[in-house]
Structure 1
Amino acid sequence: MVGIIDFNAGNITSLERALEYLKIDFIRSKNPDDLKECDRFIFPGDGDDAYAMDQLKKSGFDVFVREQVKNRKPLLGICVGSQIIFEKSEEGNAECLGLIKGEIKHFYSIDPQMEQKKIKVPHMGWNNITFENGDCPILEGIKNDSDVYFVHSFVIQPEDFSVVKAYAEYKIKVPAVIQKENVFACQFHPEKSGTTGLKILENFCKC
């Protein structure tokens, strides 16, 4: 059973429809107690990192997520969920979950020339991803250079780049798929990425 962590963010309905299409059983809840018996978790949503962390702390999901990861249950973060698994974020100066070492920075902080050249941010739309750093269970059966759908202004910057399993090019190298042990993350939206995204979700629910 998959537990969907609901922290009042957008796009959760799209994820539910994708899991329904795949015939994967799930529970969506704003209460950690409802998800205790789940064997894996998805942390989806659009929005602001600081807002997300505030909602997690109010609900107790911050403690819950750390405990479940420590108990070796798989976790998949999507979009904002992919960012707040790290230690801190420039977006709202948020202190995040710290499941993986690293921080989240705005595109313009990483490369100020992007702002000077008026390169559009957010990075929004379809972009191909390139695999690196070995195999990743959620990418099994996915072709290198597949297109997926992005919407983001902030970029994952891990302390150890060996956790990056795929990246996209948007003037800079954008970490797109992350794995460290049982923690996975997609900066893009698999639930909006056609058959490629559905396969990624299916792989996660089997790993």
Structure 2
Amino acid sequence: MNTVIIKYNAGNIQSVLFALERIGVQATVTDDLEAIRSADKIIFPGVGEASTAMNYLKERKLDQLIREARQPLLGICLGMQLLCAHSEENDTSCLGIFDVPVKKFVSEELKIPQMGWNRIHTKENPLFKKVPADAWCYFVHSYYAVLNPHTIATTNYATEFSSALHRDNFYGVQFHPEKSADAGEQVLKNFLEL
């Protein structure tokens, strides 16, 4: 199976690579359009800032390629947010695969960003096969996708938000499966088996 991780100027690619290696998968990190097009599975991770990331994707025509993907694609953290319609982070137009806004957390009591472990409450979905319905996962984020018809997992922090999304061949998780112990490893395995 040919798995690619989209290379763009957003961090955290190394830890995704290591997580895949732990489950016996050698992935290729690339921004080559043909290599991505011919992959069986595409992973779109990211830690960083929305507008800079979108500019990089557009410069390399990766934005169009992602929109046209027909194979299973998994957006992680910023990757998931960029699959949405618009982010409040620097008023950024995103890829629009999920017609959903991404908003900034507002809280007097809680630290922003959310950093650390929190529960995900999952719906029935192949991405969550063998994952406990209220598994603990690891988050680092200041922005979130609002609840919508594509929400397949929710988490509460300052408000209830979408911790996972699914539409057609597109999946997104706000948490970091590569840092989420057994539950995260199972999510990655499930994605690779789709």
Q: Which structure has more helix as a fraction of its residues?
A: 1
Any conservation in 2 of the 1:9–1:46 contact (CA below 8 Å)? yes
Shift of 1:39: 1.4
Distance in 2, matches of 1:196 and 1:118, equals 28
Any conservation in 1 of the 2:50–2:92 contact (CA below 8 Å)? yes
Q: In percent, how many aligned pairs have the same letter?
A: 36
Q: In the alignment, which residue of structure 1 is the partner of 2:23?
A: 22
Shift of 1:162: 2.4
Q: In the alignment, which residue of structure 2 is the partner of 1:111?
A: none
Task: Output the amino acid matched with 2:94.
Answer: C
Any conservation in 1 of the 2:105–2:158 contact (CA below 8 Å)? no
What TM-score, normalized to structure 1? 0.90
Aligned to 1:205, the other structure's residue is in SS state helix
Moved more, 47-56 or 34-43: 34-43
Structure 2 gaps, min length 5: none
Q: Structure 2 matches for 1:88-99, cutoff 5 A? A: 88-99=86-97
Q: Structure 2 matches for 1:51-90, cutoff 5 A? A: 51-68=52-69, 72-90=70-88
Q: In the alignment, which residue of structure 2 is the partner of 1:128?
A: 119
Aligned to 2:29, the other structure's residue is in SS state strand
Are 2:141 and 1:152 aligned?
yes
- Moved runs in structure 1, 4+ residues, more than 3 A? none
For residues 42-96 of structure 1, give each alpha carbon's deviation from its aligned partner in whole angstroms, at most 9, with x where no partner exists: 000100111110110111110111111xxx3111000000101011111011111
Distance in 1, matches of 2:149 and 2:37, equals 31
Any conservation in 2 of the 1:27–1:35 contact (CA below 8 Å)? no
Aligned to 1:125, the other structure's residue is in SS state strand
Moved more, 34-43 or 48-57: 34-43
2:153 to 157, 166, 179: 166
Q: In the alignment, which residue of structure 2 is the partner of 1:12?
A: 13
1:198 to 168, 182, 185: 185
Aligned Cα RMSD in Å? 1.2
Distance in 2, matches of 1:172 and 1:43, equals 25
How many residue pairs get aligned? The number is 193
For residues 106-138 of structure 1, give each alpha carbon's deviation from its aligned partner in whole angstroms, at most 9, with x where no partner exists: 012xxxxx2xx2421001100011123xx2111
Distance in 1, matches of 2:174 and 2:74, equals 11
Distance in 2, matches of 1:14 and 1:140, equals 23
Are 2:22 and 1:35 aligned?
no
Shift of 1:25: 3.3
